[in-house]
Amino acid sequence: MSKTNYPPAVSRYVLMMRILGAMYAVGAVSFFFAPSLIFWILNLLPRMFRGIESIPPSAEYFWLPLATSMMVMLTILAFSAAASPQTKILAWVQIASKLCSSLGYLYFFIVDVHYFAYLAGFITDFPIFLIVLYMSLKAFRALKQTESTPASLP
């Protein structure tokens, strides 16, 4: 099956992966080169509304290369998944990563300080997890149906 003959579900999956790849790349660059800006943005709402706590700015950069490397890995995975939608593991790693990060943010929001940044992390990553899971399952099902459909006879 050529790339131009993908079923609609697979074409949407490919487009989604390209968009996510670009978003992950922007995130990687932003996290690494502008961490103070990320904290400033995350603290906009808490500054406007009482009852939502701001996350304190961090002078700690120890985890920054690790977070950046994860975003670079997600970038490569997303663009690779777009180029090769039949390779399911490329989506499953993203799905696992987004589930882990979203539940981690939710955990820290519940058991630690109620920083808006934790909630924002959950609100950002959990929908990505759900969307990638849903669209991946639809694309994989469409690919399987295409493979099992016998070619039309002359």
pLDDT, the chain, mean: 92
Burial per residue of 87-101, b for 16 or more beta-carbon CB atoms within 10 angstroms, e otherwise: eeebbbebbebbbeb
How does pLDDT run across 3-47, given as a tens digit for each residue? 668 999 999 999 999 999 999 999 999 999 999 999 999 999 898
Q: Are 119 and 49 in contact (CB under 8 A)?
A: no
Q: Which has more confidence, 124 or 48?
A: 124
Both tokens assigned to 46: 């808490």
49: burial class by Cβ within 10 Å (0-12, 13-18, 19+)?
A: exposed
Q: For the whole model, what pTM was predicted? A: 0.90
